[in-house]
Structure 1
Amino acid sequence: MIGWEDVYKVVVAMVPLYLALVLGYGSVKWWRIFRPEQCDAINRFVAFFTLPLFTFEFTAHVDPFKMNYRFIAADAISKVIIVVVLAFWAKCSSKGSYCWSITSFSLSTLTNSLVVGVPLARAMYGQSAVDLVVQVSVIQSIVWLTILLFVLEIRRTRSDFYSTDETLGASNKVGNRPVNDLEENPGALASNTKPSFWSLMKTVWRKLAMNPNSYACIFGITWAFIANRWHVKMPAIIEDSILIMSRAGIGTAMFSMGLFMALQEKIVACGTSLTIFGMVLRFIAGPAAMAIGSIAVGLHGDVLHVAIIQAALPQSITSFIFAKEYGLHADVLSTAVIFGMIVSLPVLVAYYAILEFLH
């Protein structure tokens, strides 16, 4: 049974994150230390340096030979369910869109497992639950955050293609025909200059090849296999070099979020309705999909409970960093992280109590 001491441990894990957030917010709003372009540079530093090293560090220390693959399968099924629903919504609904499907996927599936999930899982179900939460967090980094990065890069590359083509059509003064065609049919330029699938993919893969986030989790899990198969340790000089940056990963991410908040007109930048929408996806849709996936693979008892509770953990901080870097609904993701962590504790305790009562 979770007690006040356990709740205190979770609060202890969360308060330093809000300190970093407040420092970032104050450095722009109160002390005027950073300009907007400098805030963007700090977010890029987080996205391309501290977070990849943080991802490598925790991935490299998992034991892949002791993973609960049924638990991981349940998590995969739950995310596939979300993807199918969002794809159907984007295709068939007048209100659906590709961009909102990406954001909705982040809101409903990507969790902050390590900071909040680990102490809470230990308090509720012990070390075995901690192992499960860490395992699913590793898979999230290897598979789902990589897929998110891929689709975000596709979206940005397509946008770059079209913006470049439109600029060349508008600035071409050599002949009157391109201009006349554009005046008569505004959609003609986009249709005539639509990039081929392979040229688009070539550009996307080239950009991903230069992104350290693409390698961090792969190198980390590769080392985990080597280390646990042949019982070798990483040389101290390498491990310490990684740790000195990776330890700043989550803190600098929250600091960057504080910078972003300070540049907005309101603290709740996305508005009340979108905040509620994000909370519903985070704390209801995600756990519901996970419950379906868990039952489908035959999870039961405490493992089933851990699966549902970990799906209701607050929003992944990395999802905000990616959203900010790629310019897609960063206001919604920042609000989901900030208020999600505040709301998560009572929500998770409520889930725990309900599941124990039903059990």
Structure 2
Amino acid sequence: MISWEDIYKVVVSMAPLYVALMLGYGSVRWWNIFTPEQGGAINRFVCFFTLPLFTFQFTARVDPFNWNYLFIAADAISKLVIVTVLALWSKFSSKGSYSWSITNFSLCTLTSSLVVGVPLGDAMYGQMGVNLIVQSSVLQAIIWLTLLLFVLEFRRTGLDIYSNTSSSGDSRVKPVELENINDLEGNMDMVESTSTSISSKPSFWSFIKVVGQKLAANPNSYAVFIGIVWALISNRWHFQMPSIMEGSILIMSNAGTGTAMFSMGIFMALQEKVFACGTKLTIFGMVLRFIAGPAAMAIGCFAVGLHGDVLRVSIIQAALPQSITSFIFAKEYGLHADVLSTAVIFGMLVSLPVLIAYYAILGFVN
């Protein structure tokens, strides 16, 4: 049973996040220290420096040889359920869209496991709970955040190419069907403009190559893979990271979560409202985060036959508050950052009573 002391430990782990958040908020709203452009630069610093090193640092410390592979399978099934539902929604619903599918995936699946999950898991289920939550964090970084990064970059590259194509093709002539281009012989300007518009549309593989090149320049793409490779090597042959290397990583990675919350505070200050996305989207985000995500995880758990405390931890870790990294990526790639910031801020406020309720209910599940 969770005691008041356990609740206090969780609150203690969450309180510094709000200190960093309020400092970022005050730096713009009260003290006028940063401009919007400088706020964007701070977010890029977090995205390309502190977060990759933070990801590498915690990934490199895990022991992949002692993972619970049934739990991993359940987690994969739950994510595939969500991806399938979102794909069908995007294709067949009049309200469905590729952009909102990306955001809804983040809201359903990406959690703040290390900041909130570890102290809460320890209070509820001891070391076993901590181990499973850390495993979920590593899986999230290896697979799902990497997938999120890919689709965000895919979307932005597509928008950039479309913008360039439109600007080159629409400046002198209306769009012309490809099969009618022979009819344009004799006109100077129209043939050249149309040819430019057609030739500027890349093939699918050229498009993927551009996306790959951009991802290769983003350290978030490979930080987690370097970390897991080091974890495999160090645990297999009992290597220890040289202290000079560890110190160099820690000096930046320790700032990862704090600078991310600081950047979110700046973003909040630049909005008209604290909960920038409005009441309806806030409620919608909370439903996805605290109901849809755990429900999908329950499906995955029952599919692979998990039971007992492993089942309970699996569902509770799926109900943890929104991942801070998901906001940083949303801000960097310009996709519904207002929704993700609200999900992080409001989600952390309401997560403790929600998670305790889940803990009480799951106590009756075998």
For the aligned pair, the TM-score class normalised by the smaller chain equals over 0.9
**Contact preservation (8 Å) 1:25, 1:260:** yes
Match of 1:279 in 2: 286
Tell me, what secondary structure is at the counterpart of 1:357?
Answer: coil
Matched, 1:20 2:20: yes
Percent of paired sites with the same residue: 73
Match of 1:35 in 2: 35
Output aligned runs, 1:253-272, within 5 Å. Answer: 253-272=260-279
CA distance in 2, matches of 1:292, 1:109: 14
CA distance in 1, matches of 2:245, 2:67: 26
Aligned residue pairs, count: 353
**Contact preservation (8 Å) 2:52, 2:219:** yes
Matched, 1:105 2:109: no
Tell me, what secondary structure is at the counterpart of 1:273?
Answer: helix
**Contact preservation (8 Å) 1:112, 1:316:** yes
Deviation per residue, 1:286-334 (Å, 9 max, x gap)? 0000000001001000000000000000000000000000000000000
Output aligned runs, 1:113-128, within 5 Å. Answer: 113-128=113-128
Per-residue deviation at 1:194?
3.7
The residue type paired with residue 126 of structure 1 is G
Unpaired runs of 5+ residues, structure 2, are 174-186
Matched, 1:67 2:74: no
CA distance in 1, matches of 2:210, 2:204: 10
CA distance in 2, matches of 1:166, 1:283: 41
CA distance in 2, matches of 1:38, 1:193: 34
CA distance in 2, matches of 1:144, 1:311: 13
**Contact preservation (8 Å) 2:172, 2:193:** no
CA distance in 1, matches of 2:169, 2:302: 55
- Are the structure 2 counterparts of residues 178 and 329 from structure 1 closer, same or farther at C-alpha, using a change threshold of 3 Å? farther
What TM-score, normalized to structure 1? Answer: 0.95
The residue type paired with residue 336 of structure 1 is A
CA distance in 1, matches of 2:216, 2:113: 27
Per-residue deviation at 1:175?
4.6
Per-residue deviation at 1:79?
0.3
Per-residue deviation at 1:176?
4.5
Per-residue deviation at 1:166?
1.2
Larger gyration radius, structure 1 or structure 2: 2
The residue type paired with residue 213 of structure 1 is N
What TM-score, normalized to structure 2? Answer: 0.94
1:224 pairs with one of 226, 231, 235? 231
**Contact preservation (8 Å) 2:86, 2:101:** yes
CA distance in 2, matches of 1:123, 1:213: 31
Q: CA RMSD in A?
A: 1.8
Per-residue deviation at 1:357?
2.8
